[in-house]
Amino acid sequence: MGEFVSVEIIDQIATIRLDRPKMNALNRQVQEEIAECARLVDADPMVAAVIIYGGERVFAAGADIKEMAVMSYADMARHSSALQSCFTAVAEIGKPVIAAITGYALGGGCELALCADFRVAGESAKLGQPEITLGIIPGAGGTQRLPRLVGPAKAKDLIYTGRHVDAAEALAIGLVDRVVPDDEVYTAALELAATFVGGPAVAIRAAKQAIDHGLETDLDTGLEIERIQFSGLFATEDAKEGMGAFAEKRRPKFTGR
């Protein structure tokens, strides 16, 4: 689609591919192209799952520091909202999203991976939020999504120090979900994505919204979000098919309606 970010759809699995040599630095153009691709795959009823992939060498080494270095407070005050909204577009894809992480996922690259539902990393991958070493803090969701994923203490460790973690530590703290040999990262992501093809798409979207929105509020409000999503699914064809198939002892054939 764009100059640096494209979408390929095969067998109902969409791959959002970053390709800005040589480290996939996330400048403003790349951010906007990511958001455009995210909205495209979210709206496409033929897409069952999404993979975000930076290629065999690197996921994304972070924001374009040269671009940021010349920005004033007024510049960044205007741009920061757009920056966050680009990443939020990925987080709001109503389908399972898998980050296939090779090489570095640092700064904005790590924040992009945090927007996914699942993270598959290569054995030599490095993740981190090194913004503090530049005298700033993460600005594309790192201070919010990272502690929600790994807990506040681990998030503070990574953000306060700016240190990189290897794949083994990332797995141990819950920053990634699976570690595989470097040359198997994309294949492993495809295998995970394939498990959602043919599934009840409306129910998966409802589950994602209930979990994500519920985490932002108190338990009582979260339970109400769940109740509304749960009840609404009884108006879908997939719910009737799923329960009918259970009663008839056969495999359901979901249509996403």
Cβ atoms of residues 5 and 31 within 8 Å:
no
Model confidence band, residue 119 (pLDDT cutoffs 50, 70, 90): very high
**CATH topology match: 5-194 vs 201-248:** no
Cβ atoms of residues 178 and 211 within 8 Å:
no
Cβ atoms of residues 112 and 87 within 8 Å:
yes
For the ranges 3-7, 13-17, 67-71, 241-245, the lowest mean pLDDT is seen at 67-71
Model confidence band, residue 187 (pLDDT cutoffs 50, 70, 90): very high
Quote the CA–CA distance of 27 and 206 in Å, as a whole number. Answer: 32
- Mean pLDDT score across all residues of the chain: 95
Sequence ranges of the domains in the chain: 5-194, 201-248
Cβ atoms of residues 159 and 146 within 8 Å:
yes
Q: Domain 201-248 belongs to what topology?
A: Lyase 2-enoyl-coa Hydratase; Chain  A, domain 2 (1.10.12)
Quote the CA–CA distance of 185 and 11 in Å, as a whole number. Answer: 18
Question: Is-cis flag, bond preceding 126, omega within 30?
Answer: no
Assigned CATH for 5-194: 3.90.226.10
Catalytic residue among 3, 8, 56, 111: 111
pTM: 0.94
Cβ atoms of residues 90 and 112 within 8 Å:
yes
For residue 69, is pLDDT > 90?
A: no
Question: Is 131 a known active-site residue?
Answer: yes
Picking from 107, 25, 96, the residue whose alpha carbon sits closest to that of residue 58 is 25
Catalytic residue among 32, 36, 123, 131: 131
Bridge partners (DSSP) of residue 105 are 60, 127
Query: How many residues in the chain?
Result: 257
Amino acid at 99: A
* Residues 134-155: tens digit of each pLDDT: 999 999 999 999 999 999 999 9
* Residues 219-246: tens digit of each pLDDT: 999 999 999 999 999 999 999 999 999 9
Cβ atoms of residues 27 and 67 within 8 Å:
yes
Q: pLDDT value at position 32?
A: 95
For residue 160, is pLDDT > 90?
A: yes
Share of the chain above pLDDT 70, in %: 100
